[in-house]
Chains A and B, each alone.
Chain A
Amino acid sequence: MLLILLGVLIMHLIILILLIVSTAASTWSVGGDTSTDLWYSCMTSNGGYHCKPASSEDWIQAVQALMILSLLFCFFSLIAFVFQLFKLVKGGRFFFTAIFQILASVFVMCAAIIYTVMSPNDGATQFGYAYVLAWVAFPLTLISGLIYIVLRKKE
């Protein structure tokens, strides 16, 4: 029982770290010597490393908001998990934790979809690792949420 608990907690922490890295790292699209992400688009020219704020179009701001929200909800679900671990009655389900985790997964999915559809595609730009991390985080979060639904607090 303790093993399952530890495993679930470690998975949750891994998801949280994945989300943090994906939101903050600056490589959602890479192409040549430019790397763009949600917040800055930086290019390494011969002068050095020049960054300017990413295009302030609507969809980028929506992706920013959704990634931040998914991060917040994952964090809230972690807090709710620890809280419910100590306060839940025997045999109860981790209701709040599961809801927040599933909401976080929905938000990550929406953010990744919006970015995929709306990112400008010229031949030179490929998707960077932060984008891949976001797509990886989505099914992990969903599975974690479903585990929390099934999990019960036993004696």
Chain B
Amino acid sequence: MGRAGPMRGVWLGINQGTVCFLLLSCFEALCRVASSIPPLHFLSPPCTRTRSRVGLFLDRLLSGLRHPSFWELPAKPETMLTLLALASVVLLGIVPEQSQAIVIYTGWERHALLGSDIRLSCSFFSWRWTSEDVTFSWTYRPDGSRDSISIFHYTGGAAYVDNKGPFRDRVEFVGNPGRRDGSILIKNLDFNDNGTFTCDAKNPPDIVGRPSSVRLLVFEKVPIQAGVITGAIIGVVLGLLVLIVVIYYLMRFLVARRVFSLSVSKHGKKKKEGSQQRQGPVPPADPSKIKV
């Protein structure tokens, strides 16, 4: 389809509007249906109280649907035309546009220990089926340098690894081209391997794409990511706070209910004797606590 520029914006706008409208009406319809089922009657006040425009439209539509004459063709030509236009807009808008670009995914940054192995993953997304001429190629650019050298190439069903450069005998192909995976494994990392690795994949005839890069950082000792401990401490304390508040209100609610059931039923007194003994001193203090 390949519309570009302002036309595409208008098209997307119409599409979004229709999808939103459909979603809203589906939600309203579901709410009404759910509130009519006996166990879910509690849904009916909120569902029917909000008389949104979508709800009013739905009401009219449903009442029209129930009318027997609605189902007799021919209907008025204007309504048929509008319905047809609406349906076509929806269908044509929802079907995604086939853009011919291939999208390549790698990581953003990878951390590794000195002397370890690392797997650099690369996969792509393309609208075409994976062809047999799919190619993957990895290039490496050291930190602080401007030249990149090629260290891996997969084409025609065979993988060619670096046999002259800095990664000689250290690169291994661990990907699966049939599953669009072009990952490589680099063994025995050194500090000189710090740099940017770029993966470029081509899936003929889908060849237009932007290569994606992953940055490799080699450490002697992998440092704790900044903010992990901070986040953990904050999360734990706030979680405990929420838990304590919830338990406090729950206890108040439960004790309130027990007070209520105490006055109603004296039969269960013997059964609840054990717990009542514990709760004994609490109820007199409760009315003042409840008001707080």
Partner of B227, one of A61, A72, A92: A61
Indicate whether B79 reaches chain A with its CB closer than 8 angstroms: no
Q: How far is the CB of A114 from chain B (nearest CB, A)?
A: 11
Q: Is the CB of B226 within 8 A of A62?
A: no
> Which A residues from 71 to 96 make CB contacts under 8 A with B?
72, 88-89, 92, 95
Stretch at the interface among B52-60, B228-236, B261-269: B228-236
> Which A residues from 46 to 74 make CB contacts under 8 A with B?
53, 56-58, 61-62, 64-66, 68-69, 72
Q: How far is the CB of A90 from chain B (nearest CB, A)?
A: 10
Which chain A residues lie closer than 8 Å to B233 at the CB level? 61-62, 65-66, 69
Q: Is the CB of B292 within 8 A of A68?
A: no
Q: How far is the CB of B232 from chain A (nearest CB, A)?
A: 8
Q: How far is the CB of B69 from chain A (nearest CB, A)?
A: 58
Q: Is the CB of B224 within 8 A of A56?
A: yes
Q: Is the CB of B237 within 8 A of A61?
A: no
Which chain A residues lie closer than 8 Å to B224 at the CB level? 56-58, 61
Q: How far is the CB of A54 from chain B (nearest CB, A)?
A: 8
Partner of A53, one of B226, B231, B292: B226
Which chain B residues lie closer than 8 Å to A95 at the CB level? 292
Closest to A39 in B: B226
Indicate whether B82 reaches chain A with its CB closer than 8 angstroms: no
Q: Is the CB of B226 within 8 A of A56?
A: yes
**Count of A-B contacts judged by CB separation below 8 Å:** 43
Q: How far is the CB of A33 from chain B (nearest CB, A)?
A: 24
Which chain A residues lie closer than 8 Å to B291 at the CB level? 89, 92
Q: How far is the CB of A112 from chain B (nearest CB, A)?
A: 16
Which chain A residues lie closer than 8 Å to B84 at the CB level? none
Which chain B residues lie closer than 8 Å to A58 at the CB level? 224, 229
Q: Is the CB of A65 within 8 A of B234?
A: yes
Which chain A residues lie closer than 8 Å to B234 at the CB level? 65, 68-69, 72
Q: How far is the CB of A20 from chain B (nearest CB, A)?
A: 16
Closest to A57 in B: B224
A95 to B292, CA, bound (A): 9
Which chain B residues lie closer than 8 Å to A64 at the CB level? 227, 230
Which chain B residues lie closer than 8 Å to A56 at the CB level? 223-227
Indicate whether B238 reaches chain A with its CB closer than 8 angstroms: yes
Partner of A88, one of B225, B238, B292: B292
Q: Is the CB of B292 within 8 A of A65?
A: no
Which chain B residues lie closer than 8 Å to A57 at the CB level? 224
Closest to B227 in A: A61
Q: Is the CB of A69 within 8 A of B237?
A: yes
Given A56-B223, A56-B224, A95-B292, A62 and B237 contact (CB-CB distance below 8 Å)? no
Q: Is the CB of B230 within 8 A of A65?
A: yes
Which chain A residues lie closer than 8 Å to B225 at the CB level? 56
Closest to B232 in A: A65
Given A68-B234, A69-B234, A89 and B292 contact (CB-CB distance below 8 Å)? yes
Bits for A14-36, please: 1 = Cβ < 8 Å to B, else 0: 00000000000000000000000
> Which B residues from 202 to 254 make CB contacts under 8 A with A?
223-234, 237-238
Closest to A38 in B: B230
Subset of 15 A-B contacts with CB under 8 Å: A56-B223, A56-B225, A58-B229, A61-B224, A61-B226, A61-B229, A61-B233, A62-B230, A62-B233, A65-B234, A66-B233, A69-B233, A72-B238, A92-B291, A95-B292
> Nearest 10 A-B pairs (CB), nearest first?
A65-B233, A61-B229, A56-B226, A65-B230, A61-B230, A64-B230, A89-B291, A65-B234, A92-B292, A69-B237
